[in-house]
DNA sequence: TTCACTCTAAACACCT
DNA sequence: CAGGTGTTTAGAGTGA
């Protein structure tokens, strides 16, 4: 792992420089270093894994770049009548192996993302995957740019040499001319990219016009041959002749070029503009073939495509645009349901944005870290700027209990140069605070569910986010998860550190809390064993602890059973987030259901009806909750959630989740490390 | 305001 | 003696 990250440093150099914008994100670097300073810190493994992933992606990005260049040249030759594929073979500079298959899984188009969104089955994991893929796309873009630059430099160099040499062998001259053409293409591509960027910006970055293949990247990546692409391109462009003036430029170019140019901006719009989706119905929202349907009705509508109403969960077939409008006005008029769905969609978007922001920061931190590492190899593991947590004394952290947004370091650590909505609380804010002492009730009000953790198992595993569960619940979970339903204290410790990144630091604190809970709660029974003592759970006693819980929200149960229609399309995580009080239901449901999939589906199913309540309940159930919390479910992750409610699902999660990611025996010692790898 | 609950911190005892 | 384990107490925050 470390070796990989080490080697990667070199290969990453260009991308890093491109991406980091020369800014030194001390905090992030410091955090990273802090994490590395401790050799046993699991975050190192995580980081290395991520780095390896990035490395892989970059390699693939290079391949993509080569592939694009190659295809572009082929296209150019076809267009210009130079039908001589042989030339490609003879061009040493462009003779690159193409591995389309390899890049296929790495590339995800906005359309794919949109489709997933529309299906409303996005789990947090999926979101993470998507975001990672988006990161890969960013890297690819950077690599492309870098590659272009290099190619240009190389070409210029060679041209100069050839000019000076005067006499060149025929073949070299031929190559030179080709390279010239190639250079022109490169320039053209860059211009195109800029134009496309501009056009997208003019459009508010929101609506990726159907005619603009933000999409072609996918078919391209899937190995579609240039002619097919051309055909598709014609198909698309013909449908949108008047789409935009710049379209002329596009059409004059080969498809691959357009692919490159369009894909990049589309990514940019998605990533660089977190508000894009907010404004507009999920900008990335243009299903692959939607463009064709748009042809029939000049009034493109984000909620209409493929002759189907794209209102979340609707999918009603509308033959034409007029009928769609009728349908829209009749079925999705301003009522409670629509409002609720709209609200949900807002949260979906915001969660996506937050996730995106997080991953962007992570990427930035990684790149910054690698950059620093490569340029300052001797950099001590000493924290560069650990204002935040590392150096944060306990008293300090205690002094600011609870404050959710915890933004002490934010102003000084604008990790990503990318614009972010002011309302977006970055992970930096979340995790640089050190041990956040949260006060919360596990009875209500926490808009995050065990379902969420179930689907965020990886999240909690890798992100230094405090799990929204009480110690008692976690301990119980750990014990129940064990084969014999009993664990030694040390095994419980290990479970904590293995399952939650949060518990990989401040060990003294939480271990003490664990011991305290074990002793305090009757539900934990100490059993003398041959090799010492083990702890078991008295389930009856545990359930006894807070009997008022479920009964406290009978309406929830009713609602959950009654209304299914509302949130069918909801993102699972959001559903979970919005399920809030209904979580206890899952406790029983999840008990015997060890698989994550079952859990997720069961939860989703049950939660489908929760939204109505949630929405109607949101105002009254969140008197103590800040608007931010209500609006940004993600934030909730930072806040501990209802402990007991979480129990059921959590058990499922962990059970399904037996991942050996972390060394079981690894000893996560006390270390005020602020691993901001999250 | 009170109560119940949780978290954190700390002191202490016991054991290995 | 050091460190781990287990118990207990105290203080503080939160929501009902």
CA of A458 to C1' of C11 (A): 35
Query: Which residue range(s) make up the domain with A329?
Result: 304-333
Nearest to A47 by CA among A127, A39, A106: A39
Q: Is the CB of A477 under 7 A from strand B?
A: no
| Mean pLDDT in residue range A523-527 | 87
Sign of the CA dihedral with A469 first, then A473, A475, and A477 last? negative
For the ranges A34-38, A125-129, A245-249, the lowest mean pLDDT is seen at A34-38
- The DSSP secondary-structure symbol of A526 reads E
Residue nearest to nucleotide C4 (CA to C1'): A490
When the pLDDT of each residue in chain A is averaged and rounded to a whole number, the result is 46
Residue A489 lies in a domain: yes
Distant-in-sequence, close-in-space partners of A449: CB < 8 Å, separation ≥ 6:
A576, A577, A579, A580, A582, A583, A586, A603, A607, A641, A645, A646, A649
Q: Is the CB of A397 under 7 A from strand B?
A: yes
CA of A444 to C1' of C16 (A): 10
Residue A411 lies in a domain: no
- On strand B, nucleotides with any atom < 7 Å from a protein CB are 4-11
Neighbours of A568 (CB within 10 A): 18
Q: How many CA atoms lie within 13 A of A339 on its CB side?
A: 9
| Mean pLDDT in residue range A583-602 | 31
CA of A627 to C1' of B7 (A): 25
The distance in angstroms from the start CA to the end CA of chain A is 18
- The DSSP secondary-structure symbol of A533 reads E
CA of A341 to C1' of C10 (A): 48
pLDDT at position A349 is 66
Residues A264 and A270: their CA atoms lie apart, in Å, by 10
- The DSSP secondary-structure symbol of A483 reads T
| Model pLDDT for residues A156-170, shown as the tens digit of each residue | 555 445 444 443 444
CA of A519 to C1' of C6 (A): 7
| Model pLDDT for residues A175-198, shown as the tens digit of each residue | 444 544 545 554 454 454 445 444
- On strand C, nucleotides with any atom < 7 Å from a protein CB are 4-10, 12-16
Q: How confident is the model at residue A309 (pLDDT cuts 50, 70, 90)?
A: confident
Take residue A284 and report the two structure tokens written for it: 């990335």
Residues A9 and A85: their CA atoms lie apart, in Å, by 36
Structural domain ending residue among the three candidates A490, A515, A545: A545
Contact A568, A554 (CB under 8 A): no
Contact A669, A506 (CB under 8 A): no
Residue A192 lies in a domain: no
| Model pLDDT for residues A201-244, shown as the tens digit of each residue | 433 333 333 333 333 333 333 333 333 334 434 443 343 333 33
Q: Is the CB of A659 under 7 A from strand B?
A: no
What pTM was estimated for this model as a whole? 0.33
A79-108 residues near strand B (Cβ < 7 Å): none
| Mean pLDDT in residue range A238-260 | 34
Helix locations, A376-399, DSSP H: 394-399
Counted residue by residue, chain A has a size of: 678
**Whole-number Cα distances in Å, A586 to A120, A283, A455, A539, A661:** 21, 34, 14, 16, 27
| Mean pLDDT in residue range A516-523 | 87
Residue with token string 């000493």: A382
> Shortest CA–C1' contact from A621: which nucleotide?
C15
Structural domain ending residue among the three candidates A523, A545, A567: A545
Take residue A672 and report the two structure tokens written for it: 């005020």
Contact A537, A545 (CB under 8 A): no
The proportion of chain A whose per-residue pLDDT surpasses 70, expressed as a percent, equals 19
Residues A358 and A365: their CA atoms lie apart, in Å, by 10
Q: Give me Rg for the CA atoms of chain A.
A: 27
Contact A124, A296 (CB under 8 A): no
pLDDT at position A58 is 46
The CATH number of residue A505's host domain is 1.10.10.10
Residue A503 lies in a domain: yes
Query: Does pLDDT of A473 surpass 70?
Result: yes
| Mean pLDDT in residue range A486-505 | 87
> Shortest CA–C1' contact from A552: which nucleotide?
C16
H or E element at residue A308: strand A308-309
Residue A632 lies in a domain: no
Distant-in-sequence, close-in-space partners of A599: CB < 8 Å, separation ≥ 6:
A451, A454, A586, A590, A593, A649, A652, A653, A656
Residue A588 lies in a domain: no
**Whole-number Cα distances in Å, A468 to A235, A341, A371, A474, A511:** 51, 26, 35, 10, 17
Q: Is the CB of A512 under 7 A from strand B?
A: yes
Residue A538 lies in a domain: yes
> Shortest CA–C1' contact from A473: which nucleotide?
B6
CA of A32 to C1' of B7 (A): 28
Contact A413, A25 (CB under 8 A): yes
> Shortest CA–C1' contact from A401: which nucleotide?
C13
Residue nearest to nucleotide C13 (CA to C1'): A439
Residue with token string 């596990």: A442
pLDDT at position A460 is 81
Residues A429 and A337: their CA atoms lie apart, in Å, by 34
Structural domain ending residue among the three candidates A484, A517, A545: A545
Query: How many domains are contained in chain A?
Result: 2
Which residues have Cβ atoms closer than 7 angstroms to strand C?
A: A 401-402, 439-441, 443-445, 488-490, 493, 511-512, 515-516, 518-520, 526, 532-533, 535, 552, 621, 623-625
Query: Does pLDDT of A518 surpass 80?
Result: yes
Q: How confident is the model at residue A626 (pLDDT cuts 50, 70, 90)?
A: very low
Residue A275 lies in a domain: no
């Amino acid at each position: 792992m470390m070796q990989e990250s080490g080697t990667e440093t070199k290969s990453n150099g260009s991308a890093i420089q491109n991406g980091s914008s020369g800014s030194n994100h001390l905090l992030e670097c410091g955090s990273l270093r802090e994490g590395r300073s401790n050799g046993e810190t699991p975050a190192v493994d995580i980081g290395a894994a991520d780095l390896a992933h990035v490395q892989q992606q970059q390699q693939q990005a290079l391949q993509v770049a080569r592939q694009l260049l190659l295809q572009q040249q082929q296209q150019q030759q076809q267009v210009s009548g130079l039908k001589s594929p042989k030339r490609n073979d003879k061009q040493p500079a462009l003779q690159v192996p193409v591995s389309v298959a390899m890049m296929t899984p790495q590339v995800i188009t906005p359309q794919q993302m949109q489709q997933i969104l529309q299906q409303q089955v996005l789990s947090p994991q999926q979101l993470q995957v998507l975001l990672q893929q988006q990161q890969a796309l960013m890297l690819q873009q950077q690599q492309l740019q870098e590659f272009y630059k290099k190619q240009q430099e190389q070409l210029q160099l060679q041209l100069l040499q050839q000019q000076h040499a005067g006499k060149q062998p025929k073949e070299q001259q031929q190559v030179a001319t080709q390279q010239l053409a190639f250079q022109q293409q490169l320039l053209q591509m860059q211009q195109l990219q800029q134009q496309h960027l501009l056009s997208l910006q003019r459009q508010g970055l929101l609506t990726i016009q159907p005619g603009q293949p933000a999409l072609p990247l996918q078919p391209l990546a899937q190995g579609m041959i240039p002619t097919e692409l051309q055909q598709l391109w014609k198909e698309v462009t013909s449908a949108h002749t008047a789409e935009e003036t710049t379209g002329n430029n596009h059409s004059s170019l080969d498809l691959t070029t357009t692919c490159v140019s369009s894909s990049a901006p589309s990514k940019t719009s998605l990533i660089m503009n977190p508000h894009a989706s907010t404004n507009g119905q999920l900008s990335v929202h243009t299903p692959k073939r939607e463009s064709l349907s748009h042809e029939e009705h000049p009034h493109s509508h984000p909620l209409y495509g493929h002759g189907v109403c794209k209102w979340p969960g609707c999918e009603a077939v509308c033959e034409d645009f007029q009928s769609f409008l009728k349908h829209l006005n009749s079925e999705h008029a301003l009522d409670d349901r629509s409002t609720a769905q709209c609200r949900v969609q807002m949260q979906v978007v915001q969660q996506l944005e937050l996730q995106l922001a997080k991953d962007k920061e992570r990427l930035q931190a990684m790149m910054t870290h690698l950059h620093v590492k490569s340029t300052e190899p001797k950099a001590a593991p000493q924290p560069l700027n650990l204002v935040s947590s590392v150096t944060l004394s306990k008293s300090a952290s205690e002094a600011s209990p609870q404050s959710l947004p915890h933004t002490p370091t934010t102003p000084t650590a604008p990790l990503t140069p990318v614009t972010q909505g002011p309302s977006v609380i970055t992970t930096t804010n979340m995790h640089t605070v050190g041990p956040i002492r949260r006060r919360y009730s596990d009875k209500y009000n926490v808009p995050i569910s065990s379902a969420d953790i179930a689907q965020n198992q990886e999240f909690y595993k890798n992100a230094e986010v405090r799990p929204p569960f009480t110690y008692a619940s976690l301990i119980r979970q750990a014990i129940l998860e064990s084969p014999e339903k009993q664990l030694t204290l040390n095994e419980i410790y290990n479970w904590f550190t293995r399952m939650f990144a949060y518990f990989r630091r401040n060990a003294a604190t939480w271990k003490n809390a664990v011991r305290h809970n074990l002793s305090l709660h009757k539900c934990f029974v100490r059993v003398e064993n041959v090799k010492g003592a083990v702890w078991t759970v008295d389930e009856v006693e545990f359930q006894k602890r807070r009997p008022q819980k479920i009964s406290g929200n009978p309406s929830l149960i009713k609602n959950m059973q009654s209304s299914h229609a509302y949130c069918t399309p909801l993102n699972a995580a959001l559903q979970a987030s919005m399920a809030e009080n209904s979580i206890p239901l899952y406790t029983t449901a999840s008990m015997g259901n060890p698989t994550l999939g079952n859990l997720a589906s069961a939860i989703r199913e049950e939660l489908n009806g929760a939204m109505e309540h949630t929405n109607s309940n949101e105002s009254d159930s969140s008197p103590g909750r800040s608007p931010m919390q209500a609006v940004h479910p993600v934030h909730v992750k930072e806040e501990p959630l209802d402990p007991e409610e979480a129990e059921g699902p959590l058990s499922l999660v962990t059970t399904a989740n037996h991942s050996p990611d972390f060394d079981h025996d690894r000893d996560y010692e006390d270390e005020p490390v602020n691993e901001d790898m999250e």
